[in-house]
Structure 1
């Protein structure tokens, strides 16, 4: 199923609506309905507006919303961080970064520092990031460490850097450079529309496949100057418009798409105008999410039905094979009776015995395998057991097959019905019926779609966000302390330790040229005191210095370190 259209032009239309509605409003509440979705509830002068930001790979977007979504009883950590830094602040501006899919909201408050919320719409790399007034990251809905990306880390305490694009601005290139690049790529022959569209997307900032196809169609020919003019006109709508949003309903598609301007390369009958792009996106995304939920539910149910049906087919084949050998129990019983009649010929410890077949008129000898570890009487009893089991298998197969064939027919009919189901509720109802009949197992509870890698290579290191939004790390074992100080901490991070006793190494991630605020220093010192051998003392001195002044003596045991340039914070019992 194709993904939703949310390109730079769509973001420009959403940013224009959000700027008009939100500028000057005060953040009343921050809500996080889903793991990767944040909503700002803003109020001013008796008006209320809500802004939605999503970093979901399939539905990444930012727009106004009128739906009040349910939230979990305990707000996630990122929601708490946003509440601490944004609630009560006024929205100063909403703007798009150039022609990228990056939206910035700037907030002012009673203090001198501003805050910025950045929404990056980049597929699976989408993110929502909170910055302080100097552009330092306070937190993100998706943290990105060095193990996930060497090029760009999104971690508290680091300076924010926009994602690299590597694409040209069309206005910077100009018509002559555009024509030269075109000729270098396609020569003097007209370019194939698909190849030209892919090239435009790859080379120029803000150009999406839809925008490229539209520019090519409006140009009317594969001539570089015409394509440049149409592309320039479309990109010129960023940031201010004018926009005329449409919902696209293509025949044969269950879901809808949204675009901020009518598309001439799509049929006019499939395009339905809407007054605001936020409303159109809200409707289309809801439709697409419903369609995807249906596809997910259907595929999971069909997979369960097909697994069960395959298991039944294999069992039916095995039982049919048993029924195709009706003579086996008689042959085994004959062998057992022959063995019993020739009991006196069986030698203890023999692996086989040759005896006459008393059921054959000519009494020809037959050879019967024995278990040398069994006595003659036990071998005879074993032969009768095999005969009885063979007869039982025949009877069981004859009794079991009709029920299995009925169950298989039920699964095959339900499979057809699920394929034709038009709603999630219908699919779930049909699966529930199969579960009640014990034809398919109930779905197993699963963890996150993507297994999260163990942080800090499995070392027991805890993370706390201070009241000032800085990250505080501390080790819970001697080995974790070594790893934290030697591998994780940067030279200008603050390092703390309770003086002259064993205890946790504590790190405040400040970064180069920044100092830890007094409140964060004291919070980290209290952590060091609580996680030291002196935790029950009424007075605990905690030393702090920069990580670059901490050394681990060669050959010293885990957790031991020496330091210089220290200062001391005095922690009293109950602090």
Structure 2
């Protein structure tokens, strides 16, 4: 009920002491927030109008330091003018500060259409939220709304609250309905309504929890409440702080939940790709078996042929085996034996990666359910540091010729183009930096900048390798080989296109291409 007419009326009365104060400053540091500073001798009073589309509220801080930058002065015409009167528009949710020189500053508290309007006599001069164009056509005199609140009128509308007193508000209507208002005789309806209006003249102010579990102000007689006040300024300040805190928790939870969902979706897609790749390898005829067949049939294979029909004694059938015509049959077998060893290594890597991702998915599922139930900001910080660490420690900056990532204290640079790759490797990179690149395909050069006296941690190498794979032609592969070596072992090829290099003493690591953690 912080935007209810009867609460606003009480708030306006509590601000009467500002008569004689002058407007010392009026400025904005955020798009939908206005600060008005009133001053009288050594005393200062601050009004912070928080007018966001989803939540509008007045707040009265004890102090407010204006920022040196990103701050703009507004309503300059009223600076130095004294407050003559503070009042509420009749039957309307507006607080009117009547100032010297016929000017008035009006706080129009219409929920998501809240605004601050400057009048000169009856004419609008300026408005705070310029998107509310209709406010330019308002008349100060017409803000007051006369209502016939007589018993005759009440009987005429048969006690219909919305027709008789539209400013009553949905909360007060609901409160009367809970008392059985609809079933009452007309005279009892009148008695209950007038009793409530009489109570509104000097109410208590409660902080309660609404049906959605959010903090709210009530000026209705309440049996269950969180806090009770006899001063509307203290009440709305407490409400504002609690609401903003609750909003922060809710917003953080939503952001955390979305982040975990994104990671879950990504991890499940990775597992699916890895399992598909593993199945393909496992269903493929092992290369060492093909090599065995070639070795057993060396006498039957002619030199220089591209294929041969040989008996497969593993499957008890003949099959066509492709050969490299430039190699002897024995050399073809040797190549297959070497590739077979790589296959076993690839299967091992894939199985380990699948296991790691499944464990991560299990943890993400558990954390998602925990985050859903969290209501304590301190407990929420634990998960913020866990999941938002990526945003804090792995920031991607797009300016310049390369992308920059900070990961576990190490800076990772990724070239954006062939020219940028050339510059990164041979101008920016130092000899002991670690250089990475997706193997046998075009892609970005990646540099991990050395930290003096420290070895490169395996997680940092893996992260940089994932980026090298992601920014390469193997981006969509489930698994990608990435080579890495110290930058001093990378040589420029004379006369070659930008980014073309010769690499020595490389080590190869298998990773999943990933632009995110």
Query: Do they fold alike, i.e. is TM over 0.5?
Result: yes
Structure 1 match to 2:74: 81
Structure 2 match to 1:53: 49
Structure 1 match to 2:497: none
* Aligned-partner Cα distance in 2 for 1:418–1:35: 31
Change (3 A) 1:16 1:251: closer
Query: 1:24–1:91: 8 Å Cα contact kept in structure 2?
Result: yes
Spell out the pairing of 1:441-520 with structure 2 (5 A cutoff).
none
2:124 alignment partner, one of 127, 136, 158: 136
2:10 alignment partner, one of 13, 33, 36: 13
Q: Is residue 283 of structure 1 aligned with residue 238 of structure 2?
A: yes
- Report Cα offsets for 1:485-534 as digits up to 9, x if no partner: xxxxxxxxxxxxxxxxxxxxxxxxxxxxxxxxxxxxxxxxxxxxxxxxxx
Q: Is residue 127 of structure 1 aligned with residue 147 of structure 2?
A: no
Query: 1:206–1:235: 8 Å Cα contact kept in structure 2?
Result: no
Q: Which runs of 5+ in 1 are unaligned?
A: 146-151, 183-199, 446-575
* Aligned-partner Cα distance in 1 for 2:343–2:140: 74
* Aligned-partner Cα distance in 2 for 1:397–1:159: 69
Structure 1 match to 2:252: 297
Query: 2:204–2:228: 8 Å Cα contact kept in structure 1?
Result: yes
Q: Is residue 100 of structure 1 aligned with residue 92 of structure 2?
A: yes
Q: Is residue 427 of structure 1 aligned with residue 380 of structure 2?
A: yes
Change (3 A) 1:255 1:70: farther
Spell out the pairing of 1:374-393 with structure 2 (5 A cutoff).
390-393=343-346
Structure 2 match to 1:211: 172
Change (3 A) 1:38 1:283: same
TM-score (norm 2): 0.62
Q: Is residue 37 of structure 1 aligned with residue 33 of structure 2?
A: yes
Structure 2 match to 1:542: none
* Aligned-partner Cα distance in 1 for 2:131–2:244: 26
Equivalent position SS for 2:153: helix
Equivalent position SS for 1:136: strand
Equivalent position SS for 2:84: strand
Equivalent position SS for 1:100: coil
Structure 2 match to 1:520: none
Structure 2 match to 1:160: 138
Q: Is residue 118 of structure 1 aligned with residue 106 of structure 2?
A: yes
Q: Which runs of 5+ in 2 are unaligned?
A: 398-517
Deviation at 1:282, TM superposition (A): 0.4
* Aligned-partner Cα distance in 1 for 2:366–2:6: 47
Deviation at 1:249, TM superposition (A): 3.5
* Aligned-partner Cα distance in 2 for 1:307–1:392: 30
Deviates most, 326-335 or 8-17: 326-335
Query: 1:32–1:38: 8 Å Cα contact kept in structure 2?
Result: yes
Deviation at 1:242, TM superposition (A): 2.4
* Aligned-partner Cα distance in 1 for 2:148–2:346: 78
Structure 2 match to 1:171: 149
Deviation at 1:142, TM superposition (A): 1.3
Deviation at 1:76, TM superposition (A): 3.7
TM-score (norm 1): 0.56
* Aligned-partner Cα distance in 1 for 2:22–2:210: 43
* Aligned-partner Cα distance in 2 for 1:375–1:164: 96
Structure 1 match to 2:360: 407
Deviation at 1:384, TM superposition (A): 8.0
Aligned residues: 388
Deviation at 1:397, TM superposition (A): 1.5
* Aligned-partner Cα distance in 1 for 2:25–2:209: 38
Q: Is residue 356 of structure 1 aligned with residue 289 of structure 2?
A: no
1:69 alignment partner, one of 64, 70, 73: 64
* Aligned-partner Cα distance in 2 for 1:439–1:408: 20
- Report Cα offsets for 1:447-491 as digits up to 9, x if no partner: xxxxxxxxxxxxxxxxxxxxxxxxxxxxxxxxxxxxxxxxxxxxx
Deviation at 1:398, TM superposition (A): 2.8
Equivalent position SS for 2:38: strand
Change (3 A) 1:298 1:331: same
